[in-house]
Chain A
Amino acid sequence: MMNTTSAPVLHAAGISKFFPGSIALDDVELTLYSGEVHALLGENGAGKSTLIKCLTGAYRRDAGMIRLDGQEIDPRGPLDSQSLGIGTVYQEVNLLPNLTVADNLFLGWQPTRHGLLDRKTMVRRAGEILSGFGLEIDPSLLLSAYPIAIQQVVAIARAVEQSGKVLILDEPTASLDRDEIDLLFSVVRQLTARGIAVVFITHFLDQVFEIADRVTVLRNGRLVGTRQMDDVTQSDIVEMMLGRHLETHLRRRDRSAPGKSLLKLKNFGKRGMIEPFDLDLHEGEVVGLAGLLGSGRTETVKVIFGVTAADQGNAELRGKPVKMANPRESIAMRFGMCPEDRKTDGIVGDLSVRENIILSLQARQGWHRPLTRTKINEIVDHYVKALDIRLASPDMPIRLLSGGNQQKALLARALATEPELLILDEPTRGIDVGAHAEIIELIEHLRAHGMALVVASSEMAELVTYSNRIIVLRDRHHVRELEGDAINTGAIVRAITQQEALA
């Protein structure tokens, strides 16, 4: 078991990583002791994978130092870190299914005899290694003959054989069923018994409590804290991941009653994506969607905007039945949306900021009715000023803007269509503090002017400040609706962590 009295096997301190326009990691510290399972948690974009990549040398860190067994190291890449003793296994098994198990175990460091491949030794050694993990399989068969969990163990065995000090498991259980997880965990326990430090990245909190000794939580590229598992509850961890410290004084929600009903969703859902839910949206109202990653926040947003069409239930817009079949029709119904992943779903990188802002409006008008130059300038100038988008020129490609300014340009794109319903998915993720505050300001402003807004966010504190109502999601269900004074982060955390039976 873990031995915290001795010196740490790995100590990383002050790790920072900057990308153009955003800070991915800011002064993060991670300490690993030999024989411990250390869970690394955080929402998407919190910086988990960036941290791992800095440790393995896949990214060059911009600041900070890494000590392995007291020696300062500076890995130049995954191969380098592997030879130093840090092995990594990714969620998707990075092995070759069309080679044998033994080939996969020894690829790149095959045993040789007189310069030739020593296949017999290889198969024998592979059998020995795997049986060391309690895996009695035939290593001369193709890897693809075995289920994912076994492949996962082969990948782990490969990493451990080559490294043997630190093993990083990046969401290893994402595609495994219960029995397979048990197999994997028994392997992990054997490794810790051998004194290897295991970093375990996952989104499944119960698994963290099952296997981890300590946990480090990241949020927005910053270290929230490292705790002993014995000292924390699930609620504590959820709070650490989602943040709750800044809110109460920020909360200045105006309690004026929302306006007329705009969109009524009844039993609305999509099989395999989000369980049917009811939702009434009113003018002048912000409805927040809270929940952990994968709880169905984004999925709810997607069916409302028609990114993925719902396959059950019905929708009424101002009393008239409507269908949200695709984004184009939703925009025609005066819905607007800013997607969660700005880079892949939001910006059209090589187009200018100008073109990006008018894109939705132009698409709705149709290609044959181009906006006039004057009109375009008018719109772009207005939003650049109103949202304080900082740029050298509206003709520069949008990809050169910082994250916050890109987000504002995307808001401008949606607002230019003058929507009645604005759907924002993670509007403040990965942007700087200044832009963050401005976007929250904007949400308040739009609501006060009668717009209906749906905002999905992993920042509870933020949702609490501007939402009139908050829907809490868990396991793709809308499990709780909070209203008025019931809105506070404690209630959200309780709803998220509450066991199914109690709900």
Chain B
Amino acid sequence: MISATLKRVAPQLVILAVVLLMNFAVFPGFFHIEFQNGRLFGNLIDVLNRGAPVALLSIGMTLVIATKGIDLSVGAVMAIAGAVAAAVVTGGGGWLTALLAAIAAGLLCGAWNGILVAILRVQPIVATLVLMVAGRGIAQLITEGKIMTFLNPGLIHLGAGTVAGIPTPILIWIAAGIIVTAIVRGTALGMLIESIGINETASRLAGINSRALLIAVYLISGLGAAIAGVIVAADIKGADANNAGLWMELDAILAVVIGGNSLLGGRFSIVASLIGALIIQSVNSVILLSGMPPEFNLVIKALIIIVILVIQSPRIKHTLYLLRASAGPAPRETTLHDTDPVAKESRP
């Protein structure tokens, strides 16, 4: 089980290592971590910390994409959740109430998407586009168009605090990753989600409740987006309806893709998506640390990501496979999967 997971995420780990070494190359102190004022400091810690929102989004996004769907609304849902949390604490509520209210808002958004997709059968990209556009408007209505600031220490702690010296967001996304993975892989949920992503008609005929599962994955996506929204708001001590989570849905989708999950649905790995999220954050870090003028940021990020995706493309993989095969005997595993069963099983 563990070794299977390792094998699955090996390419992502290699890419992550390369990008981290690039960080090291532009900034030799990159791997230095120190403990000061009861808190861990260091660039590596920053990567883990800053990567929290995309990591949280990528968990739900992985499941949504596994069902052949996509959730474009998560950035907007972050804005809504942040606005709701800020509104609760500025209205005198406690941090826990604020968090729960934000989560409720996220689940509501997820339910909306899920109903559009699962019951009304709207295409996921269109269904979630509605909330992507409308969501930011809703957030602005909640914050009344301003950046709604707050000073509630409990809420701020979620974004900027530490637990045992470790920044809270890191603990939250790692915990979320472990819990969701444990749920989908410890139960049959993961297999059933993959099944409807691969062939929904066949799954329905096999007795799988695809509607409920579809709604569930959008709920999980909404939940992750809500927590990410609270973290982002808490970090800047204010809810910014215009910019919170802006374009972050695209980073989340990218994290899933870098994680080697197919946009056509089916087999998925949450761990790989989380590593994908870290890769994206590490790329951001390289650009930042290299001291490149900020106007280059997006272009360089795009270039690095193109390279990553090209390396992962089926055609390149195939070429590499051929190169290896011509260099020596092909690895047994690959041979078995690619050719053997077809050849053997086609003859009764």
Contact = CB atoms under 8 A, between A and B. Distances in A.
Nearest to A18: B346
Contacts of B344: 392
A350 B199 CA distance: 9
Contact of B345 (A305, A350, A390): A390
B348 interface: yes
Contacts of B136: none
A344 B202 contact: yes
B242 interface: no
A439 B168 CA distance: 60
A392 B206 contact: no
B182 interface: no
A402 B345 contact: yes
B314 to A, nearest CB: 14
Interface stretch (B107-115, B316-324, B335-343): B335-343
A346 B202 contact: yes
B345 A21 contact: yes
B205 interface: yes
A390 B187 contact: no
Contacts of B266: 350
A404 interface: yes
Main secondary structure of the interface of B (DSSP, over half): helix
Interface string B202-216: 111111110001000
Interface string A337-349: 1010000111111
B250 interface: no
B317 to A, nearest CB: 17
Contact of A347 (B199, B336, B346, B348): B199
A369 B337 CA distance: 31
Contact of B206 (A360, A366, A434): A360
Interface string A358-375: 011011111111110000
B205 A337 contact: yes
Contact of A359 (B195, B213, B340): B195
A345 B187 contact: no
Most chain B CB within a 10 A radius of its CB, from A348, A355, A370:
A348
Contact of B348 (A350, A355, A400, A435): A435
Contact of A327 (B189, B204, B346): B204
Nearest to A401: B345
B123 interface: no
A347 B203 CA distance: 8
Contact of A328 (B187, B191, B209, B342): B209
B191 A351 contact: yes
A216 interface: no
B345 A345 contact: no
A396 interface: yes
Nearest to A370: B188
Contact of A392 (B186, B202, B340): B340
Contacts of A400: 341-342, 345
Contacts of B206: 327, 331, 348, 359-360, 363, 413
A307 interface: yes
B196 to A, nearest CB: 9
A147 interface: no
Contacts of A339: 202, 205
Interface residues of B, number: 32
B346 A20 contact: yes
Given A327-B204, A339-B205, A359-B206, A402 B187 contact: no
Contacts of B194: 348, 350-351
Interface in B302-348: 336-337, 340-342, 344-348
Most chain A Cβ neighbours within 10 Å, of B198, B205, B344 = B205
Contacts of A107: none
A432 B345 CA distance: 12
Contacts of B202: 339, 344-348
Contacts of A327: 204-207
B267 interface: yes
Contact of B207 (A18, A328, A344, A351): A328
A347 to B, nearest CB: 6
Contacts of A417: 207
B97 interface: no
A392 B188 contact: no
A360 B195 CA distance: 11
A435 B347 CA distance: 12
A232 interface: no
A307 B189 CA distance: 23
A137 interface: no
B192 interface: yes
Contact of B192 (A344, A363, A401, A413): A363
B198 A432 contact: no
B201 interface: yes
A16 interface: no
15 contacts: A327-B206, A330-B207, A331-B207, A346-B205, A348-B202, A351-B191, A362-B188, A365-B188, A391-B341, A392-B340, A392-B341, A392-B345, A400-B342, A402-B346, A417-B207
Interface of B: 186-189, 191-192, 194-195, 198-199, 201-209, 213, 266-267, 336-337, 340-342, 344-348
Interface of A: 18, 20-21, 305, 307, 326-328, 330-332, 337, 339, 344-351, 355, 359-360, 362-371, 390-392, 396, 400-402, 404-405, 413, 417, 432, 434-435
Given A359-B207, A402-B348, A417-B207, 7 more contacts: A20-B346, A21-B342, A344-B202, A345-B201, A348-B198, A359-B191, A371-B188
List the 7 closest pairs (A to B, CB-CB), nearest first. A331-B207, A400-B341, A363-B207, A363-B208, A370-B188, A432-B348, A367-B189
